[in-house]
Chains A and B, each alone.
Chain A
Amino acid sequence: EPEVTQTPSHQVTQMGQEVILRCVPISNHLYFYWYRQILGQKVEFLVSFYNNEISEKSEIFDDQFSVERPDGSNFTLKIRSTKLEDSAMYFCASREPSGIGANVLTFGAGSRLTVL
């Protein structure tokens, strides 16, 4: 079964460092999302991406964050200068552009970011 893959599974970084989290969505999916979950808290929407541009972003997604689809397969989330409060599990998700599966998100296994 097709799946969304995320790398790395766990990254430890020093405060102020740049981090790039990578996602490979399912190949025929055209809508991409990033979510995060701080330990013990709810899953929070960060950003959605379609047609090579951001569709929507939350108040969390400030200038420190950026997303990119550098090639036909990867979808990346960059945090320019990490803060302690960026420590969280980051989930990538994707969905089909149309059809029965168009409303269903498929999630990756997540990337755990620990900022020291």
Chain B
Amino acid sequence: ILNVEQSPQSLHVQEGDSTNFTCSFPSSNFYALHWYRWETAKSPEALFVMTLNGDEKKKGRISATLNTKEGYSYLYIKGSQPEDSATYLCAFGNDMRFGAGTRLTVKP
């Protein structure tokens, strides 16, 4: 993988569902992996910075894991709420290259 890839591109879930999505990145020369949340008409907001293999971070209902050896990170949202609707971006490397994002829509 030469670039940062995110999947799925979009996701529609019902309120209360738990969901997860993936960020894949080059596994060599790992520096740091970032997750950002981006709501429409706002600027991206930092969620997590992950630096160590096996890292697991949590903020409320949102958590993230990191596997630097295989080059992926998962973002989990437990009990999705409509206010979780946003695009979730991951960024990789010292120059902060972003993936295309996963657009999450949570229906009430």
Contacts and interface: CB of A to CB of B under 8 A. Distances in A.
B43 interface: yes
Given A105-B46, A108-B43, A109-B42, A56 B94 contact: yes
A47 to B, nearest CB: 9
A108 B43 CA distance: 6
A107 interface: yes
Interface residues of B, number: 21
Given A103-B49, A103-B51, A104-B34, A43 B43 contact: no
B80 to A, nearest CB: 23
Interface residues of A, number: 21
B49 A104 contact: yes
B66 interface: no
B74 to A, nearest CB: 19
20 contacts: A33-B96, A35-B98, A42-B98, A43-B38, A43-B44, A45-B95, A45-B97, A48-B95, A56-B94, A93-B44, A103-B34, A103-B49, A104-B46, A104-B49, A105-B34, A105-B36, A105-B46, A107-B44, A107-B45, A110-B43
